[in-house]
Amino acid sequence: MVPPIVRHGMGLTSALVLAAVAFVFLDGTVKWLVLGMAVVEAVLVPQLLKRTT
């Protein structure tokens, strides 16, 4: 069983990496698409990990 802090930490860490890449390297629409992916990552990864364990 994975503790909740690990589940949320994994989602937030990957979302922060995506957001950093978006702000540093990307412009325009692509930047907003990657930021949207970061939000989805932060929300869905903990829920998926909870279902699998």
Q: What pLDDT score does 41 carry?
A: 96
Cα angle 39-40-44, degrees, rounded to a multiple of 5: 125
Regarding predicted confidence, which is higher, 3 or 38? 38
Q: What pLDDT score does 1 carry?
A: 75
Contact predicate 18/41, CB 8 Å:
yes
Query: Would you call 6 helix, strand, or coil by DSSP?
Result: helix
pLDDT band per the 50, 70, 90 thresholds, residue 53: confident
**Taking the C-alpha atoms of 41, 44, 50 and 53 in order, what is their torsion angle to the nearest 10 degrees?**
-70
Residue spans of the domains in the chain: they are 4-52
Q: What pLDDT score does 37 carry?
A: 97
Tens of pLDDT, residue by residue over 11-40, are 999 999 999 999 999 999 999 999 999 999
Q: What pLDDT score does 38 carry?
A: 97
